[in-house]
Amino acid sequence: MSATAAEHDRFSYAEPAKVTQTALSLDLKVDFDKRELAGSAELALAWHDPEARELVLDTRDLSIEGVEALDAQGAAHALKWSLAARDPVLGSALRIALDAQAPKVRIRYHTAPQASGLQWMTPAQTAGKKQPFMYSQSQSIHARSWVPLQDTPAVRFPYSAHVTGPKALRVVMSANNDAKHPLDGDFSFRMDEPIPSYLLAIAVGDLAVRETGPRSAVYAEPSVVAKAAYEFADTEKMIETTEKLYGPYRWGRYDILVLPPSFPFGGMENPRLTFATPTVLVGDRSLVALVAHELAHSWSGNLVTNASWRHMWLNEGFTTYVENRIVEAVYGKVQADEEFIIAADELLREVKATPAPTQRLVPDLDDADDAASDFAYVKGAWLLRTLEARFGREAFDVYLRGYFDHFAFQSITTQQMLDYLKPNLLDKYPGKMSLDEVKAWIHQGGVPADAPLPTSPQLQAIAAARSQWLEGKRTAIKLDAKHWNTQEWMYFLDGLPDKLSAKQLADLDAAWHLNGSPNAEIARRWYLAAARADFRPARTQMAKYMTRIGRRYLVVPIYEELAKTPDGLRFAREVYAKAKPGYHPMTQASVEKALAGQ
Ligand SMILES: [Zn+2]
């Protein structure tokens, strides 16, 4: 095991100091009628504590049917086990008693229909309307709802899987997918690199495939696949760019699976097969920073992994930084700067609205799912931009490439990151930035006042036009917005004051047709502004948007905004009643929290 397991992961019952899983082998049947995965998980074990006679695994809502030990010859004998009471955050510890330290255990089990890491969709909830669809989302601690295992990012293991399901559907995993595999309901997979549990992923549905490069393809429902292949056509360019900066792509293929609109996240960096929301398919490739982000995780996150969810900024801050470097190299500095300024502005608004302890890069967490904050992503990236600015791009690029090589296939803590940073960057070029300064970024709230921010003449011009419109010196039609790109519209809408009049919003919509915008990012901001101003003419389209899409980032803030007034709350509840069946369990939980909080 790695030295990193020394810091206890409070979101797992596992005891990796005593024993670790060194390989996982799954044999599962996909049953859409019962909404369950059923079969077995076989764990290979490395025992570290000679006294240990118990294996503790993480589970959530799993039905355990039996546990057996397998000896070196593969002979099985039944083991005693018990399932602890369910903790609302952690699930239930599965305690397996052994009389000797077996090299392997096998657990027979099936999942629950409400498994927090799986979404089961009816044909009506898909684009094609003919076949059901199922997909997993294991990050951060949801793998345990479909596989009994040590569900902590501190432990890494290769895996294999045999999965049977309905004929005519395709099964894909975060492993070696074969685009030419016959749709015979019988699939086998291998992931030979050691990965943490949160990167276990599976999806089953009516999936077509389209190549986008020599080592990349998109998987999507047949009616979506051509659009997705067009949008993601620059994937190979992005891979080559990142390899030039940070060394070889180590995972073989980089495919993208486009999920139904209910997918709760923008993207999930499942190795070899990124899962992505269809809400970035705009038709003009203006939101493909999402692919840059998920691809960047092939280095920051999947290769060098946070040892526990408190340290998530090691995954997301590094990735957000690398994402912006990829966008700059492929789409130019103007777009990269615009994207960072938009993200930084959002972060600075968050700083005002968030208690200081939550703003630290290594916060105390009540739930592992709370780790994914703007602070982990944008403040983390901003720290790396600061290091780049202080040490110069050339030196920092060399440093970062060395960091990825040094910690490749390891799970690390912030302390380990600092222990490597000091001799390899800070002390190497003395006087540029001290360890104390770096620690202040990590352990204090807010963002230091001298944090470097790019300037964008385009965005400055838009801010000036916006002010004139707000002051009534320009009508909306005179905003000169015809050639604004997606990011420029996002920036314009982000900077609107809290309260606009219905007349102002009507003026804006009449000129630029924001209501019903097919661009999900622009629409999000428009509906937020409409909800704040209680602009009723937007409600029909707003409800459609919130019902069609289940991506939390896009819909949850609108619910939160609506919930601030009694009438808005009534409307939000009405929309949710219709939208709920199409939402992922994680989105349901977030919306219910937003609606109950008032
Ligand atoms: Zn990410």
Percent of the chain residues past pLDDT 90, beyond the cut: 95
Catalytic annotation, pick one of 68, 294, 339, 521:
294
Are the beta carbons of 66 and 108 closer than 8 angstroms?
yes
Q: What is the CA radius of gyration of the chain?
A: 24
pLDDT in tens, 434-469: 999 999 999 999 999 999 999 999 999 999 999 999
Checking if the pLDDT of 156 tops 90, the result is yes
Closest CA to 361 of 419, 423, 446, 294: 446
Could you give the angle at which helices 566-579 and 539-548 cross, rounded to 10 degrees? 40
Catalytic annotation, pick one of 135, 159, 254, 377:
377
Checking if the pLDDT of 3 tops 50, the result is no
Reported confidence tier of residue 48, pLDDT bands at 50, 70, 90: very high
Q: How far is the centre of ligand 1, averaged over its atoms, from the C-alpha of 326 (Å)?
A: 14
pLDDT in tens, 256-265: 999 999 999 9
Catalytic residue at 574?
A: no
Based on DSSP, count helices (H) and strands (E) in the chain, helices before strands: 18, 21
Q: How far is the centre of ligand 1, averaged over its atoms, from the C-alpha of 293 (Å)?
A: 6
Single-letter code of the amino acid located at 337? D
The predicted model gives 539-566 an average pLDDT of 97
Checking if the pLDDT of 518 tops 70, the result is yes
The predicted model gives 65-86 an average pLDDT of 96
Distance CA 33, CA 46 (A): 38
What is the reported pTM?
A: 0.97
Q: How far is the centre of ligand 1, averaged over its atoms, from the C-alpha of 34 (Å)?
A: 32
Instruction: Check residues 173 and 3 and name the one with the higher pLDDT.
Output: 173
Distance CA 44, CA 48 (A): 13
Any idea which of 16-25, 102-111, 359-368 has the lowest mean pLDDT? 359-368
Q: How far is the centre of ligand 1, averaged over its atoms, from the C-alpha of 294 (Å)?
A: 6
Reported confidence tier of residue 1, pLDDT bands at 50, 70, 90: very low
The predicted model gives 85-109 an average pLDDT of 98
The predicted model gives 575-594 an average pLDDT of 95
Q: How far is the centre of ligand 1, averaged over its atoms, from the C-alpha of 102 (Å)?
A: 37
The Cβ of residue 380 has, within 10 Å, a number of other Cβ atoms equal to: 26
Checking if the pLDDT of 327 tops 90, the result is yes
Reported confidence tier of residue 80, pLDDT bands at 50, 70, 90: very high
Q: Which long-range contacts (CB under 8 A, 24 or more apart) does 238-242 make?
A: 238/291, 238/292, 238/295, 238/326, 238/330, 239/213, 239/215, 239/295, 241/326, 241/329, 241/330, 242/295, 242/296, 242/298, 242/299, 242/322, 242/326
Mean pLDDT of the chain: 96
Single-letter code of the amino acid located at 468? Q
Catalytic residue at 545?
A: no
Are the beta carbons of 99 and 53 closer than 8 angstroms?
yes
Confidence (pLDDT) at 496: 97
Task: Output the six-digit token pair for 545.
Answer: 């948007």
Confidence (pLDDT) at 375: 97
Reported confidence tier of residue 6, pLDDT bands at 50, 70, 90: low
Are the beta carbons of 531 and 556 closer than 8 angstroms?
no
Checking if the pLDDT of 369 tops 90, the result is no
Distance CA 164, CA 409 (A): 30
Are the beta carbons of 220 and 208 closer than 8 angstroms?
yes
Closest CA to 322 of 296, 345, 348, 303: 296
Checking if the pLDDT of 598 tops 60, the result is no
Confidence (pLDDT) at 7: 76
Reported confidence tier of residue 238, pLDDT bands at 50, 70, 90: very high
Task: Output the six-digit token pair for 397.
Answer: 């690029």
Q: How far is the centre of ligand 1, averaged over its atoms, from the C-alpha of 320 (Å)?
A: 7
Distance CA 264, CA 446 (A): 28
Confidence (pLDDT) at 435: 98
pLDDT in tens, 158-214: 999 999 999 999 999 999 999 999 999 999 999 999 999 999 999 999 999 999 999
What CA–CA distances, in Å, run from 35 to 29, 121, 123, 594? 11, 9, 13, 28
Are the beta carbons of 442 and 383 closer than 8 angstroms?
yes
Confidence (pLDDT) at 398: 98
What CA–CA distances, in Å, run from 336 to 93, 211, 235, 268? 45, 27, 17, 21
Pairing of strands 54-59, 92-97: antiparallel
Checking if the pLDDT of 5 tops 70, the result is no
